[in-house]
Structure 1
């Protein structure tokens, strides 16, 4: 039996159209009318595929590629084999991503698993909910009282939208998502299994044990935010949890109550951000990093993967390690410890 193709090829793009789309120019082998219909890695691309090259370590793959076109930066044009067309772009990876979205638009955001449009008769929708024309609500989705959902939004099978939530236009609420106590802007994507608006981890210790603190805040998710599968965002305790415009959050990220994340941040898988932390705009946090509560990470800061942040990070800083500190300082310490370990090993060998 033939394997299924989940994202079938469309009509494709001419190389001139690719160049125009990404703001690039055609290379020496100008074949403006040549058509590409797919995307692939350098070593796997065929004559109908677009690929890209942005790192010299893949030069051997580039030399052997059979791609229909390679997107490449000007500094790497000389490495493209003769006879292979190229599109020269300022940033090859970004340009390739742009072209990929045009070639496979259905892969850019979750689509209806059932393939339906409109409201399924098997959805559970409260009579007081307001749903604009053009929204899709799939079977077994639950939409609570006084919810408002904008046109073009998909609420996939098994998703739950709690009472009084607001969901903007052209959003994608994936299968099995739960969203409660939340206000979502436009073009928000919640991948399957995301949990939004549950109460945070708040307890006070007393003579008789732990006493639960109520959490009465909301989650506010601004326009163009994307949140990966099985990530969780707790509602605020006595103020709101906020995710800023354009921020992208990977799979399996935990964001605690009262956290405020700025605009256009990138937060990679398995990051945990404790309550009442403030993250500025354009911050990047590497995977498996832990951030303690009540700290501030300044605008433009970058945190290396597998770090532990337990204090404020200045704007524009690059920190890493456990505990996190400036990257140069961290590297010096790691190098020093490595050198000391080698010396100790050498001395032990000499004693023997």
Structure 2
């Protein structure tokens, strides 16, 4: 084993509290601050000027850059906090990168699941409020704001500059579009897609998102329509469909008889 992989590389200008525990392979950059009773597991990278509050636990191979982490937080394995946001623009037919110069601020008692990513801000800091919980593989875009006591389930995604109020829940694979605001007290069903701002607390589902009751009714109607089509293919016409078919046949027969009568009249006159 390469001995360099087992070394703890701490920059001389960084501060590490004597009670903090650093596993082998930890790297701490210039001007960083590691508080009391912090645990940094193997392979953690703490970038320059990053601040980690007391009693925070950081899992293996997590990277912390351009960020401030509050007290009593839990960051699981493979988390990325403070990497550049996804910001580009087209000029003269070429793609150019927008500057990503700000930070990520995590409040106290925040938990971030394995493999989740929280990007640094470009025009405002990206923030996650106190006691919010992120499941595995959650994406928080640059400049996004997450309120206090929020829960984001696996694969949820908050696009750049979106905001989520306090006490909100995002179901699995739900997503919020960029620059969209959601008031506090909103719960999004799994796979829900929010494309416009939500100003009324409550439960929402579907794509685009709508009040949960309306969405459920629409789903029920679609299922019934699908069931009717299936019955027609498998078992023949239902009673309603049979009646409709008889009416259409009657209209067609009347039309044909009318054409024949008109033709006969023309023949007689000639």
Q: Same fold (TM over 0.5)?
A: yes
For 1:317 and 1:205, the matched residues in 2 are separated by: 39
- Aligned pair count? 233
What's the TM-score once normalised by structure 2's chain length? 0.83
Output one character per residue of 1:37-60: Cα deviation in whole Å (capped at 9) or x when no partner. xxxxxxxxxxxxxxxxxxxxxxxx
Indicate yes or no: 2:86 matched with 1:197.
Answer: no
What's the TM-score once normalised by structure 1's chain length? 0.64
Shift of 1:351: 5.1
Indicate yes or no: 2:57 matched with 1:172.
Answer: yes
- The runs of at least 4 consecutive aligned structure 1 residues that moved more than 4 Å come to none
Indicate yes or no: 2:166 matched with 1:281.
Answer: yes
For 2:88 and 2:102, the matched residues in 1 are separated by: 16
- After the TM superposition, which residues 1-352 of structure 1 pair with which residues of structure 2 at under 5 Å, given as runs? 122-348=7-233, 349-350=235-236
Q: CA RMSD in A?
A: 1.5
For 2:138 and 2:193, the matched residues in 1 are separated by: 15
Shift of 1:314: 2.5
Shift of 1:297: 1.1
For 2:152 and 2:160, the matched residues in 1 are separated by: 16
Contact 1:301 1:314 in 2 (8 A): no
Secondary structure of 2:214's counterpart equals helix
Output one character per residue of 1:117-163: Cα deviation in whole Å (capped at 9) or x when no partner. xxxx8200001011112101111100000101111101111000000
Secondary structure of 1:197's counterpart equals strand
